[in-house]
Structure 1
């Protein structure tokens, strides 16, 4: 066999192996997505865990962005970054 033919066969083997790896990764991603979707809650706005709480004292606070100063490390200067704070339940305590 000629050297060009051997290189072409090696390239084909490499492409075949890469294709098989891609299919395996895609299959794993699909199975992970299906598992996650089946475990996800069905009603996004339903706060069933908070139903027993006193609504006069507790309320949901929407998510919001804040700006936070991050100090630089070493010779780098600090900079501002935006940080997202998720929705959370806030309750006033009885005193």
Structure 2
């Protein structure tokens, strides 16, 4: 009888801990997701005379040769990298 009570108590505690972890992880995920897309708060309060948007563009970047964790050598190669659109401001001095 005592062993059954201990087993039920341990199972209940494990269930409560697991449920609590699930609730906390879902709250963490919900707070980490963005509230809306297309947030342009950085572009709202700028002087349009000195700032402009630079279009996105591709660049080629050289990735040098390297060895992986198994000692296999991988040769260097060119990779295309996309640079997204951004706001550029020129400040007076």
TM-score, scaled relative to structure 1? 0.48
* Structure with higher strand content: 2
* Structure with higher helix content: 1
Higher relative contact order (Cα pairs below 8 Å, separated by 6+ residues): 2
